[in-house]
Amino acid sequence: MGHSTRSALYPLKFTLLPKEKVWGGQKLKGLLGGVSAGMGNIGEVWEVWEGLAVTNGPLRGKTLKTLVHESPRGILGDSIPSEPEIIFPLLLKLIDAQDTLSVQVHPDDGYARAREKQPFGKTEMWYVLEAEPDARIVHGLNRPVDQAELRHAIERGTLTELLEFVPVARGDIFLLKAGTIHALGKGIMVYELQQSSDLTYRLYDWGRRPSGGVARELHVDKSLEVARLEPIPDHKIRAVDLPETGYRRRLLCACSYFAVEQLISGSRITQQLEGKFHIVTALEGTVSLRPTGGKSEELTLHPLESALVPAGFSQYQILPLEKRYTVMKAYIPNLQADIVSPLLVAGVPRSEVVQLGVDPASISIDR
């Protein structure tokens, strides 16, 4: 299984999956090709997900799910989930919030498997692409509560008195671990990387009645079972610069589920895959992705377009098609080997490593 598929792998671009949302807007239609102008308010566009079909090269029309089944190691490399069914573990989307999203929370893996019979919970990260001057998000609670108090606030319509509202600006980074009560605010556009799960439990929807006067369903019991009930001490992640020659490399976040880097350059740079797949998104400028060796397909990415570079390559190049570019690179790290040890050896304080999203208990004292 998978030999012919693996030998034919190259950087893969996928059909876009736009999602109409009551809180969405029109921006993503203008920024991305492939989003129908005839659709209503677009809140999300999914760019890399196992259900999407390839749009470029000989594998055109095959879904990522099919490719993972045919060549799990060629696509995923060392990042194969230990599940009965091998699933592509991440989902990349762009979100345009022209109104505030519901106050919501996501379960962790254990709850998702036990209660929902789904393989993944949902930890996610946001990188703010645009934010209006007074934009803010909900990020946790402003004081500790218990389940009874939180339920009482939901039932009485006073939940907003318990929420922590955080101002945001372009370039801000947030890691929303499973169990974090949150809401993306009006006037914000984000790059979101997350576990491949759509499990969302709503606690509050701001009194909206979008569908024929019918309020959207709340999931109070499940929300209370999974929600973190104490404040979050640090809201925004501080990116860590990593030493490189010829370009700027910023580590935006790192946890057991994913890591996200930002690469800024005006010249060609080479990226080593080292048994990992990379999800590459062009933020500013147009770039080309070129695997080294063989006769693999080259792929052009315009701003806000994304591609999957399968793990079956040893390395690839990012080439500028304009004077300067910024790209996002997401992957699943070996936390100790790829993140913790290199940062500690480089003299980055342990506290700065932890605030990236690393579980303190996972940090080995052996460098």
The residues annotated with a catalytic role in the active site are 202
How far is 151 from 333, CA to CA, in rounded Å?
A: 38
Amino acid at 221: D
How far is 40 from 62, CA to CA, in rounded Å?
A: 28
H-helix or E-strand spanning residue 262: strand 259-265
151, 59 in Cβ contact below 8 A?
no
Between the alpha carbon of residue 191 and those of residues 44, 46, 259, 327, the distances in Å are 10, 10, 14, 12
Q: Compute, in degrees rounded to 10, the torsion defined by CA atoms 307, 311, 315, 316.
A: -10
Residue 149 sits at φ, ψ, to 5 deg, of -65, -40
Of residues 254, 256, 233, 261, the one with CA closest to residue 353: 254
Residues of 247-281 as b/e, b for ≥16 C-beta within 10 angstroms? eebbbbbbbebbbbbbbbbeeebebebeebbbbbb
313, 273 in Cβ contact below 8 A?
yes
Of residues 239, 241, 252, 238, the one with CA closest to residue 347: 241
What is the distance of C-alpha 217 from the center of its chain?
25
Residue 325 sits at φ, ψ, to 5 deg, of -145, 160
How far is 211 from 316, CA to CA, in rounded Å?
A: 47
Which of helix, strand or coil describes residue 62? coil
